[in-house]
Amino acid sequence: MPAVTLLKNKKIAFPQEAIEKFGLKEGDLLEMEIQEAGIFLKPLPVGDRIAPQDLRAFRRALKNLRADLSEEAQQMSEAEVEALVAEAIQEIRKTQVSP
């Protein structure tokens, strides 16, 4: 099992294996669950990582964009579009090479 290092200022260093497996990037948010046996961390879904004001701006932009899209795309719900965007972000992250 890979080890995680607690650094200065309470920062955590994750093993490269975990970073690659979950497509983690600097600034990603992780949900922490404190259990009797230890601490469980999991990446938050993309939608949960967006600040509320940014999400409102994103929804406004979607409404404006939807007007310029095909009839089929115009019928998609915000949740469907957000799911497609989240999927696209994950695909992009898989193809990016870490510095």
Amino acid at 68: D
pLDDT, one tens digit per residue, over 29-75 is 888 899 999 999 888 776 555 666 666 777 777 777 766 677 777 67
Query: What's the whole-model pTM score?
Result: 0.43
Which residue ranges does the chain devote to CATH 2.10.260? Answer: 1-44
Neighbours of 93 (CB within 10 A): 14
How would you class 43 by CB atoms within 10 Å of its CB: exposed for 0-12, middle for 13-18, buried for 19 or more?
middle
Please list, residue by residue across 1-23, b when 16 or more beta carbons sit within 10 angstroms of its beta carbon and e when fewer do.
eeeeeeeeeeeeebeeeeeeeee
Q: What CATH code is assigned to 1-44?
A: 2.10.260
What percentage of the chain has pLDDT greater than the value 90? 12
Determine the Cα–Cα distance for residues 88 and 23; give it in Å rounded to an integer: 13
Comparing 5 with 56, the larger pLDDT belongs to 5
Question: Is the confidence at residue 80, as pLDDT, over 60?
Answer: yes
